[in-house]
Amino acid sequence: MMRERRQIVELWEHGDALALATLVRVEGSSYRRTGARLLIAANGDYAGSISGGCLEAEIVRKAQWMVRAGATIQRYSTLFDDTADIPYGLGCGGTVELLLEPAGTPEFDALMEAMRASLHGETQFVETWLPRPGERLQRTVQSVDDVFCLRPDFADSSRNTFCETLEPPQRLFVFGAGDDAQPVVRMAALLGWSILVVDGRAQWALTERFPEAEQVLVAPAADDLRIGSRDAVVVMTHSYEQDRAWLAAVLPSRPRYLGLLGARHRSALLVNEVAAMLDWTLERACAGIFAPVGLDLGGDGAEAIALSIVAEIQACHEGKLGASRRMAPEVVTEMIAKYGASRYLQAQCAL
């Protein structure tokens, strides 16, 4: 959905927008959630989607006619029943209500400016009073500083309003610019995330190696990165010393997701040393770390590992994370007792 927001804003900035469709209510099941949007250009181009491909052609074809008198609510059935009062059967199992509004109005421009601001890191709260007989579309936009005050998307039929929070894109910090970091960046970019790649090796941290990343940085100071509680971090430099340094620098920031690439015994050793460096208990250090990184999806190779990493971050972002491989203090203790710190470090040096 974030990638679609980028595409919608880009199309709007070209200056040829005709109408905007927003999914504001769902009854039963629907392919898309409320807040999904479709922006239609005057030449027939469009960005975004409000269904699984069933409604888009209909809306694009009729958009100019439907908004000729201003914003309007259109209702579509996704049921199989051809005898229903709403005859547009799509087979998804419910009904959807779409807000269609013409481009170029103050209300439209306010929403598009809010969408653009959200892509630049500003959280926006938007409340839209939906049009109905005798009442025109109205909209207010407010910048939200306190993320704990955010409200989910909903349509209030009693007040005839649609409320939504436009959050900034998920930020992903990838510490490590090796070949296996490239598919992680590519997959994250497909979701519309903001990606920063960091490595201490200038010959690897090159913009041309990561064209989808917003920034590729060579060993900046951790404070300069300003990692926050909504961010996701993956530490995958393949250098024990770099991993340890970055883990110690990032862990106090308590990002939403902090994944550590590597075998469980290697991760256990790193966490043990970093806990000592920070003067933290193992319990405190382990509470913020996913290791081994990624969901256990099976498969092998850089692309499969990248998929598991991005999937776990996405699940964490959406609050859908079930069983995951979180680091636990007892695992750290067990692995160090089994392998021994000095023996593992000697093995690292021999590689």
**Mean pLDDT: which of 164-178, 219-233, 314-328 is highest?**
164-178
- Could you tell me the pTM of the whole model? 0.82
Residue 112, token pair as written in the block:
């598009």
Average pLDDT over every residue of 50-57: 85
Q: Is residue 152 pLDDT above 70, yes or no?
A: no
Q: DSSP string spanning 120-140?
A: TT--EEEEEE--BTTB--EEE
Residue 288: band (very low, low, confident or very high) from pLDDT cuts 50, 70, 90: confident
Confidence check: pLDDT of 30 > 90: no
**Is the confidence at residue 171, as pLDDT, over 60?**
yes
Query: Does residue 282 contact residue 332 with C-beta atoms inside 8 Å?
Result: yes
Residue 84: pLDDT over 60: no
Query: Which residue, among 4, 9, 5, 35, has the nearest Cα to 22 in the 3D structure?
Result: 35
Q: Which of 139, 149, 189 is nearest to 169 (CA)?
A: 189
Q: What percent of the chain has pLDDT above 90?
A: 68
Place of tokens 């009073």: 129
Q: How many CB atoms lie within 10 A of CB 309?
A: 30
Q: Are 212 and 185 in contact (CB under 8 A)?
A: yes
> Any residues with CB less than 8 A from the CB of 12 and at least 6 apart, and which?
39, 103, 112
Reply yes or no on whether the pLDDT at 189 is more than 90: yes
Kindly give, in sequence order, each residue whose CB lies less than 8 Å from that of residue 328, ignoring residues fewer than 6 positions away: 286
**What percent of the chain is predicted at pLDDT more than 70?**
87
What's the pLDDT at 147? 43
Q: Identify the CA nearest to 2 among candidates 37, 30, 29, 46.
A: 37
Provide the pLDDT confidence category of residue 323 given band limits of 50, 70 and 90: low
| CA-only gyration radius of the chain, Å | 24
Which of 61-65, 146-150, 337-341 shows the lowest per-residue confidence on average (mean pLDDT)?
146-150
pLDDT score at 27: 86
Residue 40 has pLDDT above 90, yes or no: yes
DSSP per position, 144-191:
---GGG----EEETTTTEEEEEEPPPPEEEEE--STTHHHHHHHHHHT
Portions of the chain given CATH number 3.40.50.720: 171-350
Mean local confidence (pLDDT), 205-220:
95
Tell me the CATH architecture of domain 171-350. 3-Layer(aba) Sandwich (3.40)
| 177 and 209 Cβ atoms separated by less than 8 Å | yes
Secondary structure element (H or E) that encloses residue 19, with its range: strand 17-28
Which range, of 55-64, 147-156, 277-286, averages the lowest pLDDT?
Answer: 147-156
Query: In the chain, which residue ranges form alpha helices assigned H by DSSP?
Result: 2-13, 56-66, 106-119, 181-190, 222-225, 240-250, 264-278, 282-286, 302-317, 329-339, 341-350
- Model pLDDT, residue 244: 95
79 or 120, higher pLDDT: 120
Beta sheet of 232-235, edge-to-edge order: 215-218, 194-199, 171-175, 232-235, 257-260
pLDDT of 18 higher than 90 = yes
pLDDT recorded at residue 81: 52
- Residue 255, pLDDT > 80, answer yes
